[in-house]
Amino acid sequence: MGVTYGTGKDVFQKEGIDVIIPSGMERGGGREFVLVSACDAVILIGGGSGTLNEASAAYQLKIPIVALVGYGGWADKLANKYIDGRKRFRVVPARKPGEAVELSIKLAEKSINGFEKE
């Protein structure tokens, strides 16, 4: 699935995405918020400002975050850290893609019943 900027569906067609959702929103946070709001957990891989927006949205919504480390960007910077001084929850680090998926499923199942602060 891909949530695109603007209204066009052609953005992800080259990448083989089978479900394309045009958000009608431009860059700057709106699209990221729509995408993250639909998630039970978020996996960060590398990332620039859009990834930081997605991590911030997930944190505000108390959606668990797993960071796949070793790819640089915000995933490496946020791994095993709190996003702010409220210390709602830490971004959970993972070293391999499979581990990131397993952790995100476990955290999502836990958060469905009410996210527990550390």
C-alpha gyration radius of the chain: 14
67 plus 106 within the same structural domain: yes
Give a yes or no: residue 76 inside a domain: yes
**Residue range 70-89: mean pLDDT, rounded:** 95
CB count, 10 Å around CB of 58?
24
72 plus 109 within the same structural domain: yes
- Measure the CA–CA gap between 115 and 118, rounded to whole angstroms: 9
Parent domain of 77: 41-48+63-113
- Measure the CA–CA gap between 88 and 25, rounded to whole angstroms: 29
Per residue in 33-59, pLDDT (tens digit) is: 888 888 999 999 998 888 898 999 999
Give a yes or no: residue 58 inside a domain: no
- Single pTM value for the model: 0.79
Q: Are 115 and 92 in contact (CB under 8 A)?
A: no
